[in-house]
Amino acid sequence: MTAESVWNNCLNFIKDNIQLQAYKTWFEPIKPVKLDKNVLSVQVPSKFFYEWLEEHYINLLKLSLNKELGEDAKLVYIIKMENSFGSSKSFTEKIPSQYKPKIKSQTIESSSNFLKSELTNPFVIPGIKNLKIDSQLNPNYNFNNFLEGDSNRLARSAGYAVSNRPGGTSFNPLLIFGGVGLGKTHLANAIGINIKQKFPEKTVLYISAEKFTQQYIESVKKNNRNDFIHFYQLIDILIIDDVQFFSGKAGTQDVFFHIFNHLHQNGKQVVLTSDKAPVDMQEIEQRLLSRFKWGLSAELQTPDYETRISIIKNKLAVDGVEMENEIIFYVAKHIKSNVRELEGAIISLMAQSSFNKKKITIELAKVVVEKFVKNTKKEISIDHIQKVVSDYFQMDVTTLQSKTRKRHIVQARQLAMFFSKKFTKASLASIGTKIGHRDHATVLHACKTVDNLAFTDKHFRKYVEDLTKKFSD
């Protein structure tokens, strides 16, 4: 008999006695290492993995081993850990199974000084031992109050499809991107909430990229990196908010790459949010960016006038406040930048009315909106940039967007693309679509051309300086 043959026979017995998903999660990763008489040594990925087996499958392991090696069979776990203290070598920790109480000893083979931590999981998420974890979803962010409009229809529809068939659509991963306050976090939470309602047996976890990074750094400090990875590999639906936070963090990107691969290969759903499209992300490894593009990248854009009216009416209905249409239309017309600021203006208006015991009138709305807009940083739109550039070169916007290759028109178009990238949070693809239906590669080329010409051509540099002043006024 060999370790491989004994363990394969054990696996055949185990597979017949547990659910297939549990078998794939907890037994397929185990590797037989050595058979010494009646002692079988197997390698497991982490201490957390070992703890789970001992707590949940001890009797099954005992029955399968006794069947192969007799009543005196013994099992020893070998945990291959990564060393985070400067040595390139790994170390192993051998731990005997507790179902034979007479085996008390445990040895550590290490290539460097290492203080062994207790066999406890490093994470603060409650209930990790039985995977009944807190999903950390915000119940206020659901599909019912995420109103659909032209600006978000694709992202909302894709999110809803994912929530009905997590891991079962081509939208895996689903990357939702857009500027501040457009509803990325809301939609990500809505997806998680809908999944929890329809598939209560699935494990859903929402976490910010910043918190994920902090957990990873802590796991490296405590030499629990394997536990960290394995924990995240157990999640059925992983939702990471603001994934652009991974930029420049090589260690975090590397560990997320491995977690992502495992989840994707096992049909688990990954949902990501970002303030920019993958093509615009800086200091993110190409291998990770390529995986972001495997599924669907859906943009949330600034809501149009009709959608803004719907958002205001929905907010008023939820709060039980009545407001005349004239006031609703006025607020929707003047607060354009994003949903968060729009709702903030309505809240301010209701507060002014309540605290001062005044009726909400158009005069009050004008006062509140004026103060609100004045204190809010004005975002320059792509349409405004095209108008300013067109006026500067004494042409109309239609000419700027045309397919002509005349030099002065091409340069004006490239400058419009350059300033759109500089002053807006729109993706390269969105900029290209707005400026004559070009693709993102054309916009990227335009930005590089403007940078080069501004450095080498003094006349062109003056164009850039003049236009920059106009946008700063």
pLDDT at 418 (0 to 100): 94
* Phi and psi angles of residue 80, each rounded to the nearest 5 degrees, phi first: -85, 115
Predicted pLDDT at 108: 28
- Each residue's pLDDT expressed in tens, for the chain with a length of 473 residues: 899 999 999 998 888 888 887 788 888 889 999 998 888 988 887 777 777 787 788 888 888 888 888 888 888 888 765 433 333 334 444 555 554 433 222 332 322 222 222 323 334 333 344 445 778 888 888 898 887 877 788 899 999 999 999 998 889 999 999 877 788 999 999 999 999 999 988 989 999 998 899 889 888 888 888 888 888 888 999 999 999 889 888 889 999 998 999 899 889 999 999 988 887 777 888 888 888 888 888 888 877 788 788 888 877 777 777 778 888 888 888 777 677 777 777 877 777 767 767 677 787 778 777 766 655 555 678 988 999 999 899 898 999 999 988 999 999 999 999 999 988 878 888 899 889 989 888 999 999 999 989 888 888 999 999 898 888 76
Which CATH class name applies to 305-374?
mainly alpha
Architecture of domain 143-300: 3-Layer(aba) Sandwich (3.40)
Closest by CA to 380, choosing from 425, 445, 318, is: 425
Q: What one-letter code names the amino acid at 366? A: K
Rounded to whole angstroms, what are the CA distances from 409 to 253, 403, 413?
42, 9, 6
Nearest to 335 by CA among 319, 320, 348: 348
User: For the chain, what is the total number of helices (H) and then of strands (E)?
Assistant: 20, 10
pTM above 0.75, yes or no: no
Could you give the maximum distance between any two Cα atoms of the chain, in Å?
93
In CATH, which superfamily holds the domain spanning 382-472?
Answer: DnaA protein, C-terminal DNA-binding domain (1.10.1750.10)
Q: Tokens 């946008």 — which residue? A: 471
Q: What is the pLDDT of residue 82?
A: 43
Q: Give 3-state DSSP helix, strand, coil % of the chain, rounded to 5.
A: 55, 10, 35
Residue with tokens 């106009």: 470
Domain ranges of the chain: 3-109, 143-300, 305-374, 382-472
pLDDT on residue 417: 95
pLDDT score for 248: 83
Distance CA 139, CA 297 (A): 25
Q: What is the pLDDT of residue 351?
A: 76
CATH number of 3-109: 3.30.300.180
- Dist. CA 334–CA 281, nearest whole Å: 31
Tell me, what's the pLDDT at 372?
62
